[in-house]
Amino acid sequence: MAPNMSFYDRFRIRHGSAVDLSAIPTDDDGNLDQKATQEATTKLIERIVELQELMYAEGKHSLLIVLQAMDAAGKDSVIRNVFGPVNAQGLNIASFKAPSAIELAHDYLWRIHSVAPRKGTITIFNRSHYEDVLVVRVKSLVPEHRWSKRYEHINQFEQLLEDEGTHIVKFYLHISPEYQKRQFMQRLEDPKKQWKFNPKDLDDRALWPEFQRAYEAALSKCSTDYSPWYVVPAEKKWFRNHLIASVIVDLLESLDMRYPKPDFDPSSIHID
Ligand code: AMP
Ligand code: MG
């Protein structure tokens, strides 16, 4: 590996490169040892907690994390496992469902921009504006002449956020249809998980190849230096968590944040 290269760099999509998801294994574990990796991930998560405190105290930057995937790939599990320990005061989760009537009466970025993170905080998008070039494209919810312009809108929008201090990183949780089937079966068999299953999920499953083509286009056109996409092999959960935690720690470390210096001399303060 070249200096400054990390094990996760090969999962980062280069802008404009041809993406063939079928050539990327969904169960890759990077040849890492599971036990040692899990211990390392625990430490990385502790570091995320510290860095988020620092981000909150400094109040200059914010972080937007986008999670996209086919159903049952583990978006909720990433939020719980990697970000569960973060101070809830500085963490927001925004989940995007099919747009409401009022949302549809606006442009598609309206509901997105309004919940972008404020300075000092992290927001995780569980689904995102990318649905507007994924499900919308696959199901022809708007005509092609409209969705085809959205990749450029999205790049411009993400550039605006970055220019104004919101750093962005995007993860596509990559699974196979066989894995999804196993997850669906588990949901159906467990009374505590049945609520997670929506029979309509099978409509999206039937369109698997079309969704993969739409993902490939979005990953290729919208992975930029300022807002990269990572394709995360998601079937080995411990590897998935490790990859995501590693990217987040390195990104936060690169911001070179500092605790604010008090504008008084703490040693001069006497409290009776
Ligand atoms: P889930 O995340 O499984 O609860 O499902 C949310 C559903 O909302 C998914 O089927 C998404 O495809 C759908 N959805 C999210 N955003 C949009 C959008 N902009 N247009 C249409 N459907 C959407
Ligand atoms: Mg669903």
pTM of the shown model: 0.97
The CA-based dihedral angle spanning residues 196, 202, 203, 209, taken in that order and rounded to the nearest 10 degrees: 120
- SS3 category, 166: strand
The reply to whether 66 falls in a domain is yes
Which mutation among 70, 93, 96 tests ligand 1's pocket best, with the greatest number of atoms within 8 A of CB? 96
DSSP secondary structure letters along 35-64: HHHHHHHHHHHHHHHHHHHHHHHH-S-EEE
Which mutation among 109, 135, 137 tests ligand 1's pocket best, with the greatest number of atoms within 8 A of CB? 135
Ligand that lies nearest to the alpha carbon of residue 201, given by its number in the listed order = 2
The reply to whether 262 falls in a domain is no
Sheet holding 229-233, edge to edge: 91-95, 122-126, 62-69, 166-174, 229-233
Averaged over successive runs of 10 residues, the pLDDT of the chain (272 residues) comes to: 82 97 97 98 98 98 98 98 97 98 98 98 98 98 98 98 98 98 97 95 98 98 98 98 98 97 94 93
Residues with CB under 5 A from ligand 2 (ion): 71, 201
CB atoms closer than 10 angstroms to residue 141: 15
Ligand that lies nearest to the alpha carbon of residue 127, given by its number in the listed order = 1
CB atoms closer than 10 angstroms to residue 152: 11
pLDDT of the residue at 264: 95
Which residue's CA is the nearest one to ligand 1's atom 1? 97
Counting from 1 in the atom list of ligand 1, the atom nearest the Cα of 198 is 3
Q: Residues for the chain: how many in total?
A: 272
The single-letter code of the amino acid at 258 is R
The reply to whether 272 falls in a domain is no
Domain span at 222: 7-256
Which residue's CA is the nearest one to ligand 1's atom 14? 98
pLDDT of the residue at 185: 97
Give the integer Cα–Cα distance in Å for 258 and 272.
Answer: 30
The reply to whether 268 falls in a domain is no
pLDDT of the residue at 271: 95
The reply to whether 69 falls in a domain is yes
The reply to whether 263 falls in a domain is no
pLDDT of the residue at 5: 87
The single-letter code of the amino acid at 244 is I
Give the integer Cα–Cα distance in Å for 208 and 129.
Answer: 20
Domains: count for the chain: 1
Which residue's CA is the nearest one to ligand 1's atom 5? 97
The reply to whether 111 falls in a domain is yes
CA distances to 33, 55, 61, 132, 150 from 257, rounded to whole Å, are: 32, 7, 9, 34, 33
Ligand that lies nearest to the alpha carbon of residue 197, given by its number in the listed order = 2
Q: In this structure, are residues 125 and 118 in contact, taking their beta carbons and an 8 Å threshold?
A: no
The reply to whether 270 falls in a domain is no
* Domain CATH number, residue 91: 3.40.50.300
- SS3 category, 17: coil
Instruction: Please give all residues whose beta carbon lies within 6 A of any atom in ligand 1, as ranges.
Output: 71, 96-99, 127, 131-132, 135-136, 141
The single-letter code of the amino acid at 51 is L
